[in-house]
Amino acid sequence: EADIYQTPRYLVIGTGKKITLECSQTMGHDKMYWYQQDPGMELHLIHYSYGVNSTEKGDLSSESTVSRIRTEHFPLTLESARPSHTSQYLCASSGPTGGAAGELFFGEGSRLTVL
Amino acid sequence: TQLLEQSPQFLSIQEGENLTVYCNSSSVFSSLQWYRQEPGEGPVLLVTVVTGGEVKKLKRLTFQFGDARKDSSLHITAAQPGDTGLYLCAGAGTNAGKSTFGDGTTLTVKP
């Protein structure tokens, strides 16, 4: 069973607010990811990290930023939210322990609505 | 960029019917995963296939990896309403740090 947690699960905020989506995993995985997904659609990688102090932009351009100060924690921040940021944000992790290459373990997601 | 195309995009069937979902690419993958996602939740890993031609069975679900490791299929026998969800395939390249996801197949199984 995967141990990766996201908070908040649901967030409704006004335009211009700063928000941080939290993601924590207790599996000791080196690699962590943030995906953006509209309902019933494909996942788009927006950020990833291969370890502490390592962060990279994903395939889909995003105005959000991430940090990786601790192995288990990979928060995503939007400095000024806009309605176009409304989406579901999924955090995932992967690692060599107990899993084959490419296997991702996902959190339950954070659904963000910007009014 | 490695692309994965899934077909069909939408599938609505009656309980008890069989179905097959396809995942195709022009790229070779070192491994391929299938995930199932329910509304409002994160994807959950179903299976990983690694070897060309590999077949894996998980109860009523049968997964196959193509001989050339470019494509895969998911076959469900006697579908049940609990199988309803979004099915996603994902391929890991030679640099397995990043996965490429397919565009998903939404399956609805009616009682």
pLDDT in tens, A19-41: 999 999 999 899 999 999 998 88
Tokens of B102: 């397919």
Average pLDDT over residues A51-72: 92
For chain A, say whether B95 makes contact (Cβ under 8 Å). no
Tokens of A27: 């599996």
Q: Contacts for B47-52 with beta carbons within 8 Å, 24 or more apart?
A: B48/A99, B48/A100, B48/A102, B48/A103, B50/A100
With a cut of 70, say whether residue A97 has pLDDT above it: no
The alpha-carbon gap from B45 to the nearest alpha carbon of chain A, in Å, equals 7
CB contact under 8 A, B92 and A101: yes
With a cut of 80, say whether residue A100 has pLDDT above it: no
Which of the four pLDDT bands, split at 50, 70 and 90, describes residue B43? very high
Instruction: Give B-chain residues touching A49 at CB under 8 angstroms.
Output: none
Question: For a pLDDT cut of 70, what percent of chain A falls above it?
Answer: 93
Count of helix runs (H) and strand runs (E) in chain B: 0, 11
The nearest alpha carbon in chain B to A92 belongs to: B42
- Asked if A35 and A45 touch (Cβ cutoff 8 Å), the reply is yes
**Spatial distance between the Cα atoms of B52 and B68, rounded to a whole number of angstroms:** 6
The alpha-carbon gap from A79 to the nearest alpha carbon of chain B, in Å, equals 25
Instruction: Please tell me what DSSP assigns to residue A70.
Output: B
The alpha-carbon gap from A4 to the nearest alpha carbon of chain B, in Å, equals 11
User: Beta strand pairing status for A4-7 and A19-25?
Assistant: antiparallel
- Asked if B92 and B33 touch (Cβ cutoff 8 Å), the reply is yes
Instruction: Give A-chain residues touching B92 at CB under 8 angstroms.
Output: 101-102
A10-36 burial by CB neighbour count: b if 16+ within 10 A, else e?
Answer: ebebeeeeebebebbbebebbbbbbbb
pLDDT in tens, B24-33: 999 899 899 9
Tokens of B9: 């995009």
Candidates A110, A115, A82, A90; CA nearest to A11 is A110
**Spatial distance between the Cα atoms of A84 and B69, rounded to a whole number of angstroms:** 37
pLDDT in tens, A64-91: 999 999 999 999 999 999 999 999 999 9
For chain A, say whether B85 makes contact (Cβ under 8 Å). no
For chain B, say whether A40 makes contact (Cβ under 8 Å). yes
Which of the four pLDDT bands, split at 50, 70 and 90, describes residue B88? very high
The whole-number pLDDT of residue A95 equals: 81
The whole-number pLDDT of residue A1 equals: 56
Residue A82's SS3 state is coil
Instruction: Give A-chain residues touching B47 at CB under 8 angstroms.
Output: none
10 Å CB burial of residue A58 (0-12, 13-18, 19+) is: middle
CA angle A7/A13/A17 to nearest 5° reads 95
For chain B, say whether A22 makes contact (Cβ under 8 Å). no
The nearest alpha carbon in chain B to A42 belongs to: B103
Neighbouring CB atoms inside 10 A of B86's CB total: 20
